[in-house]
């Protein structure tokens, strides 16, 4: 997620879409609701008064930005060091769902205030506005991409709204806008995270609502939905995955099941990695197979590689040495899977309350990560939010 920062009730809606639990709803504000504004994170008004987690003395994590609200999910970092965040419309209506982040925690609507506007006055222009953006991503060529599943509150996609948008940061202008049709993004879908390969001119997307991959030919704008409902796409409710030692149980008493979420593209573009969020399984496939429309579903499935057990995680990213970093929310850590399959702890810090999404600096030496505190939101705590610290963007220097 990715994803997804999920809002206080985001996962309620997500669970509704994924497990079809009757009566489970997401309390996203309507497009006409009053917008929530970001604040410098000093208040604990929505907590139960518990002490916020403190940084260990030896923690390598540095705070880049922090927000009491809105809840952040995604982060992207450009070669020039500009930082962008993603704040989807789940149970509030942020002024800047995509924002350029200033040194003082300021949020500048991006690429413009008009693009960030979503209310009754623009409902007939779903392709020209961020409806519920879920992912912001800087590709290796320095272009910025925004993935908008267009499903406020995870209540179902707005007709004509799902899209993948390319922005040129040099001009801050949209240069490509690919509408994703209902055949690719059905009403119960939730496009989650994206990776773009400028060399082959293809994009790869995890879709969490139904559980599938979406492959987009950036030259033609055509997209295909693949492996929908395949076991490699589906979360597992039999594993008793926990955060802070507690099961993720929704208001109906059902354990959360979250499908294909984390995604990573190898530096050479040859392999795509993914995993369902509530799963200990990791998969990969050659991107060449994903780009070949002549392959049947069975032929495609035969090329999926099961890479064995890894921690439950939300976001993923690969470095130049093919070490895979995973945001391990069960124990407040970032894990590193080596190319040989060894699992190591890169950092463990109690402030990593549901580490979410990653980005690298241009030289690959600095790793950025968001924390979205999903497990402390009201949905997973009998209606009472237990968030006791700000949402963050952290960074850490990686060893040589």
d(CA 36, CA 275): 32
Q: How much is the pLDDT for 50?
A: 63
**Number of residues assigned to the chain:** 400
**Angle at the Cα of 242 (from 92 to 389), degrees rounded to 5?**
45
Burial 325-350 (b: 16+ CB within 10 A, else e): bbbbbbbbbbbbbeeeeeeeebbebb
**Contact predicate 322/339, CB 8 Å:** yes
pLDDT at residue number 374: 84
Domain ranges of the chain: 10-42+68-386
Q: Can you give the pLDDT at residue 255?
A: 84
Instruction: Report how far residue 376's alpha carbon sits from residue 96's, in angstroms, rounded to the nearest whole number.
Output: 23
| Dihedral in degrees, nearest 10, Cα atoms 24, 25, 26, 30 | 170
pLDDT in tens, 309-320: 999 999 999 999
pLDDT at 334: 98
The terminus-to-terminus CA distance of the chain in angstroms comes to 29
Domain 10-42+68-386, classified CATH 2.120.10.30, yes or no: yes
Closest CA to 97 of 143, 29, 15: 29
- Tell me the C-alpha distance between 341 and 208, whole Å: 25
- Count how many Cα atoms sit within 13 Å of the Cα of residue 28 in the half-sphere of its side chain: 27
- The pLDDT value recorded for residue 254 is 83
Check residue 93 and report its DSSP letter. -
**Do residues 317 and 263 touch, judged by C-beta distance below 8 A?**
no
Task: Give 147-176 pLDDT, tens digit per residue.
Answer: 999 999 889 999 999 999 999 999 999 999
- Give residue 63's pLDDT: 97
**Strand partners for 181:** none
Cis peptide bond N-terminal to 111, omega within 30: yes
Burial class of residue 245 in the structure, from the number of CB atoms within 10 Å of its CB (0-12 exposed, 13-18 middle, 19+ buried)? exposed
Q: Which residues of the chain have pLDDT under 70?
A: 1-50
């Amino acid at each position: 997620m990715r994803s997804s920062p999920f809002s206080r009730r985001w996962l309620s809606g997500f669970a509704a879409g994924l497990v079809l639990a009757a009566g489970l709803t997401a309390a996203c504000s309507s497009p006409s609701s009053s917008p929530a504004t970001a604040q410098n994170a000093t208040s604990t008004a929505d907590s139960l008064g518990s002490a916020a987690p403190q940084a260990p003395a030896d923690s390598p994590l540095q705070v880049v930005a922090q927000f009491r609200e809105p809840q952040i999910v995604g982060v992207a970092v450009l070669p020039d060091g500009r930082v962008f965040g993603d704040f989807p419309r789940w149970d509030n209506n942020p002024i800047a769902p995509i924002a350029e982040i200033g040194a003082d925690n300021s949020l500048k609507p991006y690429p413009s205030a008009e693009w960030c506007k979503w209310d009754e006055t623009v409902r007939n222009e779903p392709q020209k506005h961020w409806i519920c953006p879920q992912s912001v991503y800087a590709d290796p060529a320095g272009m910025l991409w925004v993935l908008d599943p267009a499903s406020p509150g995870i209540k179902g996609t707005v007709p004509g709204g799902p899209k993948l948008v390319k922005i040129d940061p040099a001009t801050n202008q949209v240069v490509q806008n690919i509408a994703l049709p209902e055949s690719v993004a059905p009403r119960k879908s939730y496009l989650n995270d994206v990776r773009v390969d400028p060399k082959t001119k293809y994009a790869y997307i995890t879709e969490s609502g139904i559980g599938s991959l979406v492959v987009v030919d950036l030259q033609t704008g055509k997209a295909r939905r693949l492996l929908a409902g395949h076991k490699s796409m589906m979360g597992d409710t039999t594993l008793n995955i926990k955060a802070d030692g507690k099961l993720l149980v929704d208001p109906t008493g059902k354990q959360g099941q979250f499908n294909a979420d984390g995604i990573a593209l190898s530096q050479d573009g040859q392999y795509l990695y993914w995993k369902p969020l509530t799963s200990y399984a990791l998969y990969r496939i050659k991107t060449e197979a994903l780009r070949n429309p002549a392959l049947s579903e069975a032929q495609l499935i035969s090329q999926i590689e099961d890479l064995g057990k890894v921690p439950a995680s939300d976001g993923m990213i690969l470095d130049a040495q093919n070490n895979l970093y995973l945001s391990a929310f069960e124990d407040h850590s970032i894990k590193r899977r080596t190319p040989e399959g060894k699992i190591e702890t890169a950092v463990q810090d109690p402030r990593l309350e549901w580490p979410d999404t990653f980005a690298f600096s241009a030289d690959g030496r600095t790793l950025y990560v968001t924390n979205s505190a999903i497990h402390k939101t009201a949905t997973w705590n009998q209606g009472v939010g237990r968030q006791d610290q700000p949402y963050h963007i952290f960074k850490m220097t990686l060893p040589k």
